[in-house]
């Protein structure tokens, strides 16, 4: 069976708007992905823990509150600490170009500016996400030994 | 890199990344190697199904029940099943939104699952995923599925106790009024689950129901293999197109063709 791309979509931070995140989540589902939506006000710790338990391939964060410079690095740091760097981090929201560059340098794989068509996000994910299929196979091979 | 033994040990001692990976494997793989190894350590968890129509408050109740069980020092595995879209094959799994209280608790493991190919509200693989959580030492496994009409019976076949959330006309089981958002009445649900568990245990019904389930499981595994094998035989049958044409033109009939394939398969004599 083909392994589906699993994406965790979260809306960290204090602001209470998750319409954008929900629209993206629904679009990813319609593109055949399994989307775990965790809702509003998630702490970086809760996001990373959920991503690990759900064994997702991607974390997608929607940040409008201006806290991107603290939240993205914190999520990356926690993933590293938990040895889950294989999970890639992408994001969207209102992020100044300067900050985008800094965040991508820190390890955020891709940032989508406001108004990015969902088709573009889907295309990027399909091209850049390695699903766990390979890992699963490796596991199998080892098991036969 | 980890060896299988180390991986198994990690699962059995409840390591979350190991459990998560194991679930991915059993969900995507038709290979039973891992489950075979884990089976020996399973059978200790108590399975509770929470079902009901969309939006009835299942996740909120699961969250409230889990919080109560945590107070009793229990370890809890939660499987939240949502339907796969038949059009896209994708799924939007949103039950975690109601379970944020539990997100960081070390004694809780939550996994969202898409129903994928299975017809009912319960993913075919749910049992395998539950087995992983069971072997990993969970005391309770709470399984949330959408159930409308007949489908709720599906989950009752897997679980020791099943709670149906929402108004069910003519329902003859204990009805407990809960306000899951505030926690009112949830202690009564847990009391009833435990009463039910004691009743099942004392009367021997827990053992017989679990044995029946294991019998069904063997049956399913056999059927699954035979079905897959026969399907392959049929689809790779030499001259299949010609055979279908012949049947279409009434030169042959589907009954004889099916019988021939079955005879050649060795499953039927
Ligand atoms: N007043 C009240 N609202 C509730 C109760 N339980 C749940 N809700 C609300 O009902 C809505 C749906 O609750 P969920 O727990 O997500 O329902 P669900 O059955 O899991 O929904 P799906 O998984 O989407 O089928 C939420 O807004 C809850 O806050 C309750 O006992 N009383
Ligand atoms: Mg729910």
Sign for the CA dihedral angle at A111, A113, A114, A115 comes to negative
B29/B154 same-domain check: yes
DSSP annotation string for B177-198 = --BTTTTBTHHHHHHHHHHHHH
B104/B177 same-domain check: no
Let me know if residue B235 belongs to a domain.
Answer: no
Domain count, chain B: 2
Substitution target from A5, A33, A38, A79 for chain B, most B beta carbons within 10 A: A38
Task: Tell how far CA B2 is from the center of its chain.
Answer: 28
To which H or E segment does residue B264 belong? helix B254-265
Separation between Cα atoms, residue B15 and residue A10, nearest integer Å: 24
Who lines ligand 1 at CB under 6 A?
Answer: B 52, 54-60, 95, 98, 146, 178-181
B146: which strand partners?
A: B52
B6/B92 same-domain check: yes
Separation between Cα atoms, residue A10 and residue B136, nearest integer Å: 27
Question: pLDDT by residue (tens digit) across B19-69?
Answer: 999 999 999 887 888 999 999 999 999 999 999 888 999 999 999 999 999
Which letter does DSSP use for residue B84 in this model?
P
Backbone angles phi, psi at B167, to 5 degrees: -80, 120
The answer to whether B118 faces chain A, any CB pair under 8 Å, is no
Parent domain of B177: 168-203
B38/B22 same-domain check: yes
Decide if B52 contacts B147 (C-beta within 8 A): yes
Task: Evaluate if residue B121 carries a pLDDT over 60.
Answer: no
Let me know if residue B244 belongs to a domain.
Answer: no
Please indicate whether, in this complex, the C-beta atoms of B114 and A1 are within 8 angstroms of each other: no
Please indicate whether, in this complex, the C-beta atoms of B90 and A29 are within 8 angstroms of each other: yes
B139/B82 same-domain check: yes
Please indicate whether, in this complex, the C-beta atoms of A83 and B25 are within 8 angstroms of each other: no
Please indicate whether, in this complex, the C-beta atoms of B89 and A38 are within 8 angstroms of each other: no
Sign for the CA dihedral angle at A30, A33, A39, A43 comes to negative
Q: Whose CA is nearest to atom 29 of ligand 1?
A: B181
Radius of gyration of chain B (CA): 22
B190/B157 same-domain check: no
Question: Taking residues B93-117, what's their average pLDDT?
Answer: 93
Residue matched to tokens 């995140």: A21
> Which ligand 1 atom sits closest to the C-alpha of B165?
19
Please indicate whether, in this complex, the C-beta atoms of A143 and B4 are within 8 angstroms of each other: yes
Confidence of residue A75 (pLDDT cuts 50, 70, 90): very high
Per-residue model confidence (pLDDT) at position A141: 46
Decide if B33 contacts A140 (C-beta within 8 A): yes
B34/B132 same-domain check: yes
Confidence of residue A140 (pLDDT cuts 50, 70, 90): very low
Q: How far is the CA of B161 from the centre of ligand 2 (A)?
A: 18
- Output b/e per residue, B201-226; b: 16+ Cβ within 10 A: eeeeebeeeeeeeeeeeeeeeeeeee
Let me know if residue B102 belongs to a domain.
Answer: yes
The domain boundary, picked from B145, B164, B183, lies at B164
B51/B183 same-domain check: no
To which H or E segment does residue A140 belong? helix A133-144
Question: Taking residues B88-114, what's their average pLDDT?
Answer: 95
Question: pLDDT by residue (tens digit) across B136-145?
Answer: 999 999 999 9
DSSP annotation string for B132-161 = HHHHTT-SEEEEEEE--TTHHHHHHTT-SE
Q: Which fold has domain A6-128?
A: Rossmann fold (3.40.50)
Query: Where are chain A's structural domains?
Result: 6-128
B51/B66 same-domain check: yes
| pTM of the full structure | 0.87
Decide if A22 contacts A35 (C-beta within 8 A): no
B66/B152 same-domain check: yes
Let me know if residue B52 belongs to a domain.
Answer: yes
Q: How far is the CA of A38 from the centre of ligand 2 (A)?
A: 12
B151/B174 same-domain check: no
The Cα of A96 is separated from the nearest Cα of chain B by a number of Å equal to 29
Beta strands in B69-107 (DSSP E): 76-82, 91-93
Task: Evaluate if residue A115 carries a pLDDT over 90.
Answer: no
Nearest partner of B217 among B104, B131, B93, B111, judged by Cα: B131
Separation between Cα atoms, residue B155 and residue A88, nearest integer Å: 35
Nearest partner of B90 among A125, A107, A143, judged by Cα: A125
Separation between Cα atoms, residue B19 and residue B22, nearest integer Å: 5
Substitution target from A34, A86, A118, A130 for chain B, most B beta carbons within 10 A: A34
Q: What is the CATH number of the domain that holds B93?
A: 3.40.50.300
Per-residue model confidence (pLDDT) at position B98: 95
B125/B181 same-domain check: no
Number of A–B residue contacts, CB under 8 Å: 103
A79 to chain B: nearest residue by CA? Answer: B17
Ligand lying closest to the C-alpha of residue B185: 1
């Amino acid at each position: 069976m083909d392994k589906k791309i699993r994406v965790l979509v979260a809306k960290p931070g204090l602001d209470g708007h998750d319409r954008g995140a929900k629209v993206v989540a629904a679009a990813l589902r319609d593109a055949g992905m399994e989307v775990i939506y965790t809702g509003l006000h998630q702490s970086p710790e809760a996001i990373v823990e959920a991503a690990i338990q759900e064994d997702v391939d991607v974390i997608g964060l929607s940040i409008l509150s201006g806290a991107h410079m603290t939240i993205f690095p914190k999520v990356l740091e926690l993933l590293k600490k938990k040895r889950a760097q294989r999970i890639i981090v992408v994001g969207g929201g209102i992020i100044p170009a300067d900050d985008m560059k800094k965040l991508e340098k820190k390890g955020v794989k891709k940032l989508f500016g406001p108004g990015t068509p969902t088709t573009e996000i889907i295309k990027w994910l399909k091209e850049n996400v390695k699903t766990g299929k390979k890992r699963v196979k490796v596991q199998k091979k080892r098991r036969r030994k | 890199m980890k060896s299988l033994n180390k991986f198994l040990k990690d699962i059995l001692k409840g390591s979350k990344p190991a459990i998560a990976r194991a679930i991915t494997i059993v969900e995507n793989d038709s290979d039973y190697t891992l489950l075979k190894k884990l089976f020996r350590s399973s059978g200790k968890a108590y399975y509770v199904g929470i079902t009901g129509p969309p939006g009835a408050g299942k996740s909120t109740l699961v969250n409230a029940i889990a919080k109560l069980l945590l107070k009793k020092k229990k370890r809890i595995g939660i499987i939240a099943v949502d339907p796969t879209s038949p059009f896209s094959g994708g799924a939007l799994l949103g039950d975690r939104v109601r379970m944020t209280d539990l997100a960081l608790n070390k004694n809780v493991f939550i996994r969202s699952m898409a129903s994928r190919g299975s017809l009912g509200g319960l993913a075919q693989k749910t049992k395998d995923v539950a087995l992983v959580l069971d072997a990993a030492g969970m005391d309770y496994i709470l399984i949330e599925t959408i159930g409308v009409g007949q489908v709720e019976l599906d989950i009752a076949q897997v679980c020791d106790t099943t709670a149906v959330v929402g108004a069910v006309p003519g329902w003859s089981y204990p009805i407990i009024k809960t306000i899951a958002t505030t926690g009112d009445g949830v202690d009564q649900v847990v009391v009833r689950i435990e009463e039910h568990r004691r009743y099942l245990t004392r009367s021997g019904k827990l053992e017989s129901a679990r044995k029946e389930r294991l019998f069904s499981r063997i049956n399913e595994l056999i059927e699954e293999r035979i079905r897959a094998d026969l399907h392959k035989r049929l689809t790779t049958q030499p001259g299949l197109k010609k055979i279908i044409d012949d049947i279409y033109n009434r030169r042959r009939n589907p009954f004889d063709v099916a019988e021939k394939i079955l005879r050649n398969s060795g499953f039927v004599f």
